């Protein structure tokens, strides 16, 4: 019987990073990511983790240091949140086309202004097109598991791409959860040594990040796109292999009582667990409703999504950020785009919820299912609905 | 590179667009930045005192001494900015419009 330990999720995630034996950690503390990097700094300072901890002066420098260390063939980790991620933005774009498998934990938090340290997905959406693999977790165990998985996927010779593990700020980072820690020997077996094929090496000089004239730029961008799309196959394989060793299964689109249900609630991140309780209660009350949870945000799992919703009449999509002046929820617009050309598809209702740490409770999700089903039947003039705003 | 520029596909790119042949393909030496020029430096070498100020100021680093020891831009790289002409106090260098 594997032991469950009660531990704060940030500490657990840092301990998972330690089990992956990184060579370099370059990070700058920011709420609600702080405990992750604080604990890693402590592990390095105490001699429990043999890694270089680079206490940089900003997130821009953190990601720049990560590029260099990853390019030299060092296993590299960083973590940030919100404004820190915004400051990293310029450098984030560089990692994917240069094929540097940096792993980052992102404690999802609202972007200013107004200033908020609490959770939502506006930071996640701000870096959507940076080309990073993005896994979205729902609880502490998933964050721990997928940190180890992220290193394995990112460093796979068929992938070599940077990867982000998303975990909601406070709702996950600052709660104590029962965590099953894997055995170190199993992690070592699961995660082979990182080997970059053409590392920075003075004895065999290479040029990285070269100036690219118009005659070859589009080919370089297409190589990046093909590479990220192809990574899905490897992610699925690695998740399978993880299940074989550690017993926990991950899928790009996870189903909860969704097969055959006419109404589906779609969530991404920690709110999914609260929504599941609402689904349980509604089903007891006789409502024909199920849930799907998106685990893989990039590369986007088009086929799995289409398969999961093909028999539903209504799909109510939860977003924790707004595309201002646009279609509302970024996840909902992605889902609409994925389904638009399908002959048979559910009506999609887009709901923006839980911005800047506002809780959506079980009764809130039940209310959303009821209202969303009515909107799907009657139609609405709104591009999207926003839940719980006082008018 | 065996293939010409227009034959290269995305599959021909090295991983992460890394250039392994740093002496040839990876070198800016092959890049003809001289095609950007709209003006070209001309010289009255009778006035040249070989001080080398033009070479010091040249942002392209493309000015060197010719056989006679006079300083002259390599037009393969010279972008025609005119800084050398402005800095040359004996007035050796004069910029003229490039014409086809």
pLDDT at A347 > cutoff 60: yes
Residue B100 has pLDDT above 80, yes or no: no
For residue B21, the model assigns a pLDDT of: 86
What residues contact residue A138 under an 8 Å CB cut-off, 6+ apart?
Answer: A269, A270, A272, A273, A293, A295
Q: What is residue B31's predicted lDDT score, i.e. its pLDDT?
A: 83
> Could you tell me if residue B72 is inside a domain?
yes
In the numeric block, which tokens belong to residue A359?
């809780």
Residues 24-53 of B with CB under 8 A from A: 26, 28
What span, in angstroms and rounded, lies between the C-alpha atoms of A253 and B88? Answer: 69
- Which CATH number belongs to the domain containing residue B64 in this structure? 3.30.70.20
Contact A207 B22 (CB under 8 A): yes
Question: Residue B10: closest CA among chain A residues belongs to which residue?
Answer: A219
Domains of chain A, each with CATH number or no CATH = 4-246 (3.40.50.970), 253-386 (3.40.50.920)
Q: What are the backbone angles phi and psi of residue B8, rounded to the nearest 5°?
A: -70, 135
Q: Would you call A100 and B13 a contact, using CB atoms and an 8 Å cutoff?
A: no
Residue B37 belongs to a domain: no
Cis peptide before A299 (omega within 30 of 0): yes
Q: To probe the interface with B, which of A205, A212, A226, A229 has the most B CB atoms within 10 Å?
A: A205
Is there a contact between A250 and A149 (Cβ–Cβ < 8 Å)? Answer: yes
Touching check for A154 and chain B: CB below 8 Å?
no
- CA-angle at A205, arms to A199 and A207, nearest 5°: 80
- Token pair belonging to A339: 């389904």
Residue B9 with chain A: CB contacts under 8 Å:
219
**Packing angle of the helix pair A140-155, A214-246 (nearest 10 deg):** 130
Return the ∠ at Cα A105 (arms to A358 and A169), rounded to 5°: 15
b/e per residue B48-64 (b: at least 16 CB within 10 A): beeeeebbeebebebbe
A201 and B CB contact within 8 Å: no
Whole-model pTM: value is 0.90
Q: Name the nearest CA neighbour of A173 among A360, A32, A356, A27.
A: A32
Q: Look at A97 and B13 and tell me if their CB atoms are within 8 Å.
A: no
Assembly ipTM = 0.86
Closest CA to A165 of A40, A63, A317, A17: A17
How does pLDDT run across A183-223, given as a tens digit for each residue? Answer: 999 999 999 999 999 999 999 999 999 888 899 999 999 99
List pLDDT tens digits, range B3-53: 888 899 999 999 999 998 888 777 778 888 999 999 999 999 999 999 999
The count of domains in chain B is 1
CA–CA separation, A95 and A302 (whole Å): 24
Which residue range forms the structural domain that includes residue B99?
49-100
Strands A133-136, A296-298: parallel, antiparallel or unpaired by DSSP? antiparallel
Q: Give the pair of three-digit tokens for residue A130.
A: 């940076």
């Amino acid at each position: 019987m594997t032991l469950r330990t009660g531990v704060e999720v940030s500490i657990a995630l840092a301990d998972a990073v330690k089990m992956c034996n990184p060579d370099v950690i370059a990070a700058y503390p920011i709420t609600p990511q702080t405990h992750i990097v604080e604990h890693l700094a402590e592990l390095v300072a105490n001699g429990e983790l043999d890694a270089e901890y680079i206490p940089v002066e900003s997130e821009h420098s953190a990601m720049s240091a990560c590029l260099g260390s990853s390019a030299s063939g060092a296993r590299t980790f960083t973590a940030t949140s919100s404004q820190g991620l915004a400051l990293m933005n310029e450098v984030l774009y560089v990692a994917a086309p240069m094929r540097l498998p940096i792993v980052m934990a992102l404690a999802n938090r609202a972007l200013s202004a107004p200033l908020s340290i609490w959770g939502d997905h506006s930071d996640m959406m701000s870096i959507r097109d940076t080309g990073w693999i993005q896994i979205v977790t729902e609880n502490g165990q998933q964050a721990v598991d997928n940190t180890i998985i992220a290193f394995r996927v990112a460093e796979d010779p068929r992938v070599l791409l940077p990867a982000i593990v998303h975990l909601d700020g406070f709702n996950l980072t600052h709660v104590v959860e029962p965590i099953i820690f894997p055995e170190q020997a199993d992690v070592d077996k699961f995660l082979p040594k990182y080997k970059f094929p053409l590392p920075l090496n003075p004895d065999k000089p290479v040029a990285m990040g070269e100036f690219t004239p118009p005659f070859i730029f589009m080919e370089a961008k297409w190589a990046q796109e093909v590479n990220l799309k192809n990574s899905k196959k490897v992610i699925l394989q690695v998740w399978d292999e993880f299940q074989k060793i550690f017993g926990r299964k991950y899928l790009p689109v996870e189903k909860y009582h969704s097969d055959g249900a006419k109404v589906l609630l779609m969530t991404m991140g920690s709110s999914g667990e609260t929504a599941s309780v609402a689904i349980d209660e509604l089903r007891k009350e006789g409502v024909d409703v199920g849930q799907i949870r998106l685990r893989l945000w990039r590369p986007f799992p088009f086929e799995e999504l289409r398969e999961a919703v093909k028999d539903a009449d209504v799909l109510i999509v939860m977003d924790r950020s707004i595309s201002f002046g646009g279609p509302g929820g970024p996840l909902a617009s992605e889902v609409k785009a994925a389904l638009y050309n399908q002959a048979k598809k559910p009506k999609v209702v887009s709901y923006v919820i839980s911005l800047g740490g506002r809780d959506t409770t079980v009764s809130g999700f039940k209310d959303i299912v009821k209202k969303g089903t009515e909107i799907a039947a009657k139609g609405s003039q709104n591009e999207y609905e926003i839940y719980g705003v006082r008018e | 590179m065996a293939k010409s520029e227009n034959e290269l596909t995305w599959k021909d790119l090295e991983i992460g667009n890394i250039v392994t042949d740093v002496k040839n393909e990876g070198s800016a030496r092959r890049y003809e930045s001289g095609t950007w020029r709209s003006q070209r430096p001309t010289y009255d070498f009778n006035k040249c005192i070989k001080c080398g100020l033009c070479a010091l100021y040249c942002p392209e680093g493309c000015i060197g001494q010719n056989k006679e020891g006079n300083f002259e831009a390599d037009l393969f790289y010279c972008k025609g900015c005119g800084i050398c002409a402005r800095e040359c106090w004996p007035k050796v260098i004069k910029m003229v419009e490039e014409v086809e």
